[in-house]
Amino acid sequence: MAIRFACCYFLLLWTYNAPLTAQSRAYFPRSAPEAQGVVTDSILSFIDRVEAEFDVVHSIMVVRHGYSVAEGWWAPYEREAPHIMHSLSKSFTSTAIGFAVQEGLLSLDDLVVSFFPDKKIGEPDRYWNQMRIRDLLTMNTGHAEERWPDANTEDWAQLFLGSDLDFLPGTHFKYNSMATYMLSAILQRATGEKLVDYLDKRLFQPLRIPKPDWKTCPDGVNTGGWGLQIRTEDIARLGQFYLQKGEWEGRQLLAREWVEQATSKQVSNGSDPESDWAQGYGFQFWQCRHGAYRGDGACGQFCIVMPEQDAIIAITSGTPDMHRLLQVVWEVLLPAMRAEPLFPQPEKEAKLRERLSNLKLPLVQEVSTAEARITDGVFQMKPNNASLESVGFHLQEETPHIIFERTAGTDTLWLGQKTYRKGEVIHALPYTENLEPEVAANGGWASPNIYEARVYLFHSPARITYTFQFEGGRLVMKSHLHQALLGRRDLQVLEGRRR
């Protein structure tokens, strides 16, 4: 029996790796879950739970003992497509500061104001003259509220430095994304390089992460606390890098001592034993329950590191309920990890691979197109604050599409039928302003006189739902932005008449 178990174990491990040509591009070798002590049924249960409770999970990757035991992308999201990280960007910024400290370019006790002699500081100055890099890293700047730049703010560093402090730095935890921006600004002043360029040689290239896009402020400084775009596997690579205490492929890239500091509790952020947002905060890493820690970003971008299980879980999503998504991880995936390899389950493993390869976000629930009561045509819109002049429907063509004519120009939204079709919005549909141009859309008749289009911003957690209600020659159009950062809000109802 022991010989049979060993043969099955290694055969299953090898069989999963062998036929996958895409693996040549991946860092993590693939393995059957049971070979790494993970229960396949539990991964299937996790997929069931997130699909039943959320309609916004975009990807999942589970790494155990350095092997990928499960990875999947809900269409239209894809393996190679970068995804906006929101505040998960902060953990990469912290990593850059770690490298700079290691190279003697910075110290945790350096005064923040010492890097900005050209800026005016706020009140009281005795507080400002005590704020250190350490305080930026731990969100202990002394602010009671964070101040965000708006579209008219040209000097972000001055906005931060000119604000008033309510507490002595180092004494009051307040999550503050602009503190992370200041880390990026300090790094650029200390090194002469943008954050993304500095990290490229030290982290991205060694970890084989393609140099990513990272948004910048008007002064050309990477935003630091947000704005990074990377792939799901890149999230997992960062997690594995930290799990290995800064070591990668036999080289100690980042000092072990820094990794331990960054990922341990540096400050208290609450005392609720049931909350993963009250277990303590490190250097831009959150402490979790169950001996884990994480980097996370709004809408459910997660890099969960589980040292006791030697595991990484990477997730991208668009949920406003990050706590509940993390709770599903603890309830389903955590108990699935056992200390020793398990007996192979090839039939269940094959079912899991089939499931993972066919993930898809919900489509429009369509009635029979034979019931639809509209013929194609163009509707002239009444004056509106969306600058939308007309909407043209071409839904009966072989490739359905809708043409939006705005003051800025014209966009065509291509619509998949029973699938998502990718395209671009150059002049921006309503609600896509300042977001990524690539979209993926699905459309269908939700009722005989209501056509619905679901549009995913392909590199973003955001989704837009357009509903078009036809009443004779009249059109009523509504736009709903589903974005956890902004909540769900409705564009005012727009009306039009058939030309």
SS3 content of the chain, % helix, strand, coil (to 5): 30, 25, 45
What pLDDT is recorded for position 14? 35
Give the β-pairing of 401-406 and 388-394.
antiparallel
What is the pLDDT confidence band of residue 408, given thresholds at 50, 70 and 90? confident
- Determine the 3-state secondary structure of 112 from DSSP: helix
Cross-strand pairs, 78? none
pLDDT of residue 26: 67
The residue-averaged pLDDT of 404-414 equals 91
Equal fold, 83-336 vs 369-498: no
pTM of the full predicted structure? 0.91
Is the pLDDT reported for residue 434 higher than 90?
A: no
Cα gap 234→240, rounded to integer Å:
10
Name the nearest CA neighbour of 238 among 306, 165, 287, 295: 295
Q: Which of 30-34, 195-199, 378-382, 447-451 has the lowest mean pLDDT?
A: 447-451
Separation of alpha carbons 386 and 404, rounded Å: 11
Per-residue pLDDT of 200-214, as tens digits, reads 999 999 999 999 999
Per-residue pLDDT, 428: 63
The residue among 196, 177, 108, 188 whose CA lies nearest residue 139 is 177
Domain boundaries of the chain, sorted by first residue: 83-336, 369-498
From CA 303, how far away is CA 203, in angstroms rounded?
A: 16
- Does a cis peptide bond (omega within 30 degrees of 0) precede residue 320? no
Name the pLDDT band for 429 (thresholds 50, 70, 90): low
**Residue 8 above 50 pLDDT?**
no
481 compared with 421, residue with greater pLDDT: 421
Residue written as token pair 């990377």: 230
Q: What tens digit of pLDDT does each residue of 306-347 get? A: 999 999 999 999 998 999 999 999 999 999 999 999 999 999
Does residue 2 carry a pLDDT above 90?
no
pLDDT tens for each residue of 141-194? 999 999 899 989 999 999 999 999 999 999 999 999 999 999 999 999 999 999
Report whether CATH 3.40.710.10 matches the domain 83-336: yes
Give the containing element (helix H, strand E) for 325.
helix 322-328
* Terminal CA-CA length for the chain: 77
What band does 107 get if pLDDT is binned at 50, 70 and 90? very high
Contact between 198 and 66 (Cβ < 8 Å): no
Fold topology of 369-498: Lipocalin (2.40.128)
Whole-number Å distance between alpha carbons of 454 and 449: 17
374 alpha carbon, distance to own chain's centre: 39
Q: What is the mean pLDDT of the chain?
A: 91
Contact 458, 361 (CB under 8 A): no
* Helix, strand or coil, per DSSP, at residue 354: helix
Using a 10 angstrom Cβ sphere, with 0-12 exposed, 13-18 middle and 19 or more buried, the burial of residue 250 is: exposed
The alpha-carbon radius of gyration of the chain (Å, integer) is: 25
23 — pLDDT class (breaks 50, 70, 90): very low
The pLDDT of residue 369 is 66
